Structure formats: C-alpha cells, structure tokens
C-alpha cells in the first residue's frame, strides 16, 4: 500500500474534523444574537417624553387669580349697568357722574349698617341692639371696587388720561363716603395707617444697623468685664505676695521674688 500520497508530511497535522472546530452554518444562522438596550437610546426617549409633558403643562391655560376674576366680574357688572340704564349708555359717553350713580346703585346690595344722624346709635361702633338704619356699601369696598374698575378700563383699551374711574368727582365722592361713615359708625379708617407706621417703626428698630450696634455694645461690655476680672486677679496676687513677704520678715526668712511680679 502506497502511504506516501495519503500520509501527512512532517510537521503537518491531519485535517481536523469539521464538527470539532467549526459550527454548522445552520446552527450559526439559528443562534440568537443577544441585543443589549443601551442607555443612549433610552435616555433620549425619556427626555423627549419629559419635554413633551412640560410643554403640555405650559400650553394649558393657567386659572386666573382671585383678583383677576373679581376684576372681570366688576367690569362685566358695570357694562351690564350701562346696558340696563334708561336710556342705555355707551362707555365712550360715560363720565364720573355715571360712575357715582353706579356706586349709589350698589348701596342696595350693601351689608354695612350706617346709622343716620337721628339714630340713637349714631357714632356707636358696637350698637347693643338693632335699628332701622339702612345698609350701605362700606367705604373700603367701594374704594377697592374703583381701583379694580380703573385697572380694567385701561386693560380694555381705555386711556389713562381719560379714565372716568379716576375722575376728580369720583375721588371727592369716596372721600365724603369715608368721612360720613367714620362719624356714623364711630370707626376711624385711619387706624390701619397707624398700624402700618407702628410696624415700620418696629422694623426700623430691628434693622441690621441697630443689630450690629447692639452686638458691638455687647462685645464692649464683655471686654469691660474681662478687664475688671483681670485687674481683680492681679490685685489678689499682689495682696498675697505682700502677706507672704510680711510673714517672711517676721520669721527671719525672705521668700524669693516671683517672676510675674517683678
């Protein structure tokens, strides 16, 4: 048998079996390749979702504040009053006199007891019994109402120079209402201003400058006390040294001088 043709040469290894070294093509094709979801693909999706949520929250209309809601209701009430007026009035033809008529019209819905001059409780802040005096709108309510209507007039295209709610006649009427209610109810409306002045004085007392001055005074007092204590200690040391010297002289021996006293 001729073995030269089939035998491997020196240093050559026999051909390995295909099944031992390489996988079958079918097995490689059917083996699932593990896929790892990276954070780089997840984070952009989460960021986009968060941005969309923030944009949606900003796009939603915010509810108006209590002041804005009240201002809108007051403005609509004034426009409705002009519409129901006989004859009906346009806003451009209104003046301060019509604003005063509107304020007097609102008195029928008031809840504040304003005593007449002939009433027994005139000028009494806390009447002990009810009386037949009419109810009116309080001066504070009317003053706040005029402030809201004045702002609403300018927000709806009105000029600040021609603002009928800031007319001189309206200001005079409000001042008269305040003075008459002060006398009838016995309640001075300037009490709030005094409280504000008191709070301002308290704030001035508690200002940073006054606190720093108080701190400096405290430090100075502490230094004085420490210096007094040091002087008292030195006096005691000197007194004890003199007593020791006298005892030494009486016994015939003089003690050595202390370095801290020389």
Residue 141 lies in a domain: yes
Residue 173 lies in a domain: yes
Structure token pair of residue 193: 């201003």
Q: Which residue, chain included where needed, has tokens 């005593």? A: 115
Residue 116 is part of which domain span? 66-196
Residue 71 lies in a domain: yes
Give the Cα separation of 145 and 165 in Å (integer): 10
How many domains does the chain fold into?
1
Per-residue pLDDT tens digits for 12-21: 444 544 444 4
Residue 57 lies in a domain: no
Residue 128 lies in a domain: yes
What phi and psi values does residue 105 have, to the nearest 5 degrees?
A: -65, -35
Residue 96 lies in a domain: yes
DSSP 117: T
Strands (E), the chain: 112-113, 135-136
Give the Cα separation of 210 and 124 in Å (integer): 43
Per-residue pLDDT tens digits for 120-140: 999 988 889 999 999 999 999
pLDDT (0 to 100) of residue 34: 53
pLDDT (0 to 100) of residue 51: 76
Residue 213 lies in a domain: no
Residue 24 contacts residue 30 (beta carbons within 8 Å):
no
Structure token pair of residue 255: 């003690």
Per-residue pLDDT band for 151 (boundaries 50, 70, 90) equals very high
Structure token pair of residue 160: 């600040």
Residue 164 lies in a domain: yes
Per-residue pLDDT tens digits for 169-196: 999 999 999 999 999 988 887 655 555 5
Structure token pair of residue 219: 């430090």
Residue 223 has pLDDT above 90, yes or no: no
């Amino acid at each position: 048998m001729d073995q030269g043709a089939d035998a491997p040469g020196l240093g050559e290894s026999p051909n390995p079996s295909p099944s031992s070294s390489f996988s079958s093509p079918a097995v490689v094709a059917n083996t699932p390749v593990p896929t790892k979801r990276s954070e780089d693909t997840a984070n952009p999706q989460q960021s986009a979702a968060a941005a969309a949520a923030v944009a949606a929250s900003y796009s939603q209309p915010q509810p108006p504040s209590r002041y804005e809601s009240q201002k809108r209701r007051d403005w609509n009430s004034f426009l409705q009053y002009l519409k129901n007026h006989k004859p009906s009035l346009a806003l451009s033809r209104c003046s301060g006199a019509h604003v005063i008529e509107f304020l007097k019209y609102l008195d029928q819905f008031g809840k504040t007891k304003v005593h007449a001059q002939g009433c027994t409780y005139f000028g009494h802040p806390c009447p002990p019994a009810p009386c037949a005096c009419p109810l009116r709108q309080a001066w504070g309510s009317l003053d706040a109402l005029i402030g809201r209507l004045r702002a609403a007039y300018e927000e709806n295209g009105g000029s600040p120079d021609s603002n009928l709610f800031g007319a001189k006649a309206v200001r005079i009427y409000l001042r008269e209402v305040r003075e008459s209610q002060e006398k009838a109810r016995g309640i001075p409306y300037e009490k709030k201003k005094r409280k504000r002045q008191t709070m301002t004085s308290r704030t001035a007392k508690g200002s940073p400058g006054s606190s720093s001055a108080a701190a400096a005074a405290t430090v100075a007092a502490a230094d004085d006390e420490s210096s007094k204590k040091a002087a008292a200690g030195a006096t005691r040391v000197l007194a004890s040294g003199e007593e020791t010297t006298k005892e030494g002289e009486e016994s015939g021996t003089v003690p050595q001088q202390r370095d801290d006293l020389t």
